[in-house]
Amino acid sequence: MPLVQVAVLHELGPGQLTEISVGNSTYAVANAGGNIFCVDGICPHAGGPLGQGALQGEMIVCPWHGFEFNCRTGVNDSDEDLILDRFPVVIQNNTIFIDVPK
């Protein structure tokens, strides 16, 4: 899969969450305490934009109805069978890339 540039490291500081679109897909990229994670950006509940939600510790909170997903594991906080796809993150030259299908 090709690397897609997300941001320069300092643009996504600890506690920040962003959304990136690649082709027809949307991803949520989170900086949880200095560790960067990438998960599917579409909430499996009803399609909410997870990358526009809030990041609380490692939990991404969907802006539509408040479902919470761990950005490290992709797992929902109340239904462990509800899991977001996760994608590799690569840091090169202080720049964040995600390794996603194009």
Rule CB under 6 A: which residues touch ligand FES?
43, 45-48, 62, 64-67
**Torsion sign over Cα 37, 38, 40, 43:** positive
Minimum Å gap between C-beta 25 and ligand FES is: 17
C-alpha span between 65 and 93 (Å, rounded):
37
Is residue 50 classed as helix, strand or coil in its secondary structure?
Answer: helix
Minimum Å gap between C-beta 84 and ligand FES is: 11
Residue with Cβ nearer ligand FES (40 or 87): 40
What residue has token string 């990438």?
38
Residue with Cβ nearer ligand FES (38 or 40): 40
Minimum Å gap between C-beta 77 and ligand FES is: 11
